[in-house]
Amino acid sequence: MTRIVPKDEGPEVRRVTWIGLFVNIMLTAIKFLAGIFGHSQALLADAIHSASDLTTDIAILVGSKYWYSPPDADHPNGHRKFETLITICIGFAIAAVGIFIILDSADALIQKNFSHPEIITAVVAFLSVIAKEILFRYTKNAGKKIRSQALEANAWHHRSDALSSVPVLIAILITIIFPQFNFIDSIGALIVAVFIIKAGLSIILPAIHQVADGAPSKKISDKLYNVASQVPGVISIHNFRIRYIGNDLQVLLHIVVNSNMSLLEAHELSEKVERALIDCGENVIDAMVHVDPYDSQKI
């Protein structure tokens, strides 16, 4: 069995997250103040969304100290699934915010408790779109570079905040220009909620698939199968299995080899297969190859 220990990228994850945390604190405070004094329900809803980013930032800052820890007696496969679990929590936090906004906005529409936004709320909403889009791109690039599932999920949290501010801005401008359509502000908040819930689900479902030991996509599975089968000396492959360990992959398989091979030759071939899988660029950190001798009676 060949296994590699993932590089500890915790310091980089926390550095990127601290920057996001600072930006979110500033945006949350500005949106709340502008929403309250500028009389915009949609902007207040957007402020709540930004506040939810704070909880996910904190979860990553704390969790990243654990999921990069090396394997131990209690966790022989490492701690990478802590990252997946925190990713699921981020998704649920996002979805919960969306549900809260839907309930609050629906109540305002039913009670006809509409707000009358001031121009400052439009300015703040516009600045929020710009700031969160920049933060999304920065966090997303960092997450892809170090292959951090939680960091990429948090980046999409930033993107959902940026997207949600767009309908908020449109709703505020319509309400300011056409005061008789002041209900548009509440409808804008509902549109925000749809974006938020969709973003939450897009994070939750893939992460649950990983925690449930789901296999990767067929494209990745086929690639790994071909990599193993093309190693010289491998006659065929069976019992081919792949599962996630956090955001990384573990591969288990049986290879059929020439029955005249010595034990040493068969062992060296299995190590070549393991190394080929780990070096193929698909986040394989653990490979276990069982060797079976070729038997024409079983073919």
Which of 165, 189, 211 is where one domain is finished? Answer: 211
State residue 71's pLDDT score.
67
The pLDDT value recorded for residue 273 is 93
pLDDT above 80 for 56: no
CATH code of the domain covering residue 251: 3.30.70.1350
Statement to judge: residues 259 and 115 lie in one domain: no
- Given a cut of 90, whether residue 91 has pLDDT beyond it is no
Is pLDDT larger for residue 110 or for residue 265?
A: 265
> What pLDDT shows up at residue 77?
65
Answer with the one of 189, 211, 233 that is the final residue of a domain.
Answer: 211
Confidence at residue 253, expressed as pLDDT on a 0 to 100 scale? 93
The confidence band for 128, taking pLDDT boundaries of 50, 70 and 90, is: confident
Contact 126, 163 (CB under 8 A): no
Secondary structure of 143-185 as H, E, C letters = HHHHCCHHHHHHHHHHHHHHHHHHHHHHHHHHHHHCHHHCCHH
Q: Amino acid letter at 97?
A: V
pLDDT of residue 3: 52
How far apart (Å, rounded) are the C-alpha atoms in residues 275 and 290?
Answer: 14
pLDDT at 186 over 80: no
Looking at the fold, whether 145 and 34 belong to one and the same domain comes out as yes
Does 202 share its domain with 224? Answer: no
Residue where a domain terminates, one of 211, 237, 257: 211
Whether residues 123 and 262 share a domain: the answer is: no
222 and 155 in one domain? Answer: no
Which ranges constitute the DSSP H helices of the chain? 10-37, 41-67, 81-111, 119-146, 149-177, 184-211, 218-229, 263-278
Q: Which residue has the higher pLDDT, 265 or 96?
A: 265
- Same domain for 108 and 146, yes or no, is yes
CATH of residue 23: 1.20.1510.10
Same domain, 50 and 192: yes
For residues 205 and 245, membership in a common domain is answered with no
- 20, 154 in Cβ contact below 8 A? yes
pLDDT of residue 225: 92
Q: Answer yes or no: do 114 and 21 share one domain.
A: yes
User: What domain count does the chain have?
Assistant: 2
Domain assignment of residue 32, given as a range: 2-211
197 with 231, same domain?
A: no
Please check whether residues 74 and 167 belong to one and the same domain: yes
pLDDT at 142: 86
186 and 230 both lie in a single domain: no
What pLDDT was estimated at residue 89? 83
